[in-house]
Amino acid sequence: MADLDDIEFELTDKDEQCVDIIENCPSPPSPFNLGHIEQEIIIQPPITFNDQESAITIKNIVPFDTIFFNEAKIYLLETMKNNTSTSNETRRKQSNNNVFQRFINFCRSAMISSRTLEFNRQCEELLNLTTFPCNLSDRIHIRILYTIYRRLTNSNEIFYATLGSHWEDIGFQTSNPETDFRSTGLFSIFFLLYFVDSMYLPLAKQIYQFSHDQQQQFPFCCIGINLANIIIKYFRRSLSRMNIEKLADQKQTDHTAIDFTGKLFIALFLNFYLKWKYNAHTIEDTQQVLNELEQLLMHQPKMLLDEFNNYFQRRQIK
């Protein structure tokens, strides 16, 4: 039988050799480093995304999944109603104190058809969207933005950050798209989503691809926001509202103010695209083209819609 001291000496020698090998071995690279894995585990929501510019908390969200227009519409309009109910009640109490104003409102409502009243109510509802800012901490707002991005670019990328240069790829001014909606609020984001979630998505992609032309490039989403602003100006004129209702009445497919306004928005975008492309406009001509479109909508909205319908009729024939 071997001596215990000998056995202990042999084991200690091997053990020291193993220790030397382990100590001299470099740390394993990511992702095999256990400490590194523990840092990347996604915690249950809310998740805080730390960007270079700011930290934004997104609640209850799969990393920026897409959204359909009808789902976004229900959320935005319901949220808007809840937030404006208190302020509207205050205004109603103030207006009720004016007996003459109440009499005028009664006469006006008696002379207007129920269909016109409903259409006007829907127009006011859309205009109220302008008072609510785009908020990147709202899960629906950020889903809308990423849906617009994915539909235009055909991207399947999963995003874990709210800010980034990818927003500039679809025509926002900076890595934070929130700031571009200051003038139009949720109205413009609402109809940008309408455009890319409609049967006119191929047109949206065609315009987007042309917006990257080497000579005639333009910022797609910023142009959309400016076109939405033109519609907002048009809606705020009472005479324009009457013309809109008459035009909508002639269109069998435009059942609501949302559908009609969405078509108006796409018609403006199409007109912008055709003017820009075939007149060889460049970025220096942006304001000129926008002014021409504003005059067209203010004075000849029927012509704008007729050109829109004729364009697609010709494409179907071809």
Alpha helices in the chain (DSSP H): 4-24, 34-40, 69-96, 99-111, 114-128, 139-153, 166-169, 186-196, 201-210, 220-235, 238-250, 257-278, 286-299, 301-317
pTM of the model: 0.73
First to last CA, the chain: 100
50: which strand partners? Answer: 55
Position 13 scores a pLDDT of 52
Give the C-alpha separation, 177 to 197, whole Å.
Answer: 19
Tokens representing 228 are 């939405």
Return mean pLDDT, the chain.
77
Percent of the chain scored above 70 by pLDDT? 64
Give the C-alpha separation, 180 to 187, whole Å.
Answer: 12
Q: How many CB atoms lie within 10 A of CB 245?
A: 19
- For the segment 23-34, the average pLDDT, to the nearest whole number, is 45
- For the segment 240-255, the average pLDDT, to the nearest whole number, is 61
Position 40 scores a pLDDT of 38
Position 276 scores a pLDDT of 97
- For the segment 228-232, the average pLDDT, to the nearest whole number, is 96
CB 277 within 8 A of CB 211: no
Position 145 scores a pLDDT of 95
317 pLDDT higher than 50: yes
Lowest mean pLDDT among 39-43, 277-281, 284-288: 39-43
Position 65 scores a pLDDT of 82
Position 49 scores a pLDDT of 38
Give the C-alpha separation, 117 to 226, whole Å.
Answer: 28
Q: What is the pLDDT of residues 111-121, one digit of tens each?
A: 455 677 788 88
DSSP-assigned states of every residue in 81-109: HHHHHHHHHHHHHHHHT-HHHHHHHHHHH
Collapsed DSSP state (helix, strand, coil) of residue 151: helix
Lowest mean pLDDT among 181-195, 243-257, 284-298: 243-257
Position 93 scores a pLDDT of 47
144 pLDDT higher than 70: yes
The domain limits of the chain are: 69-73+122-317
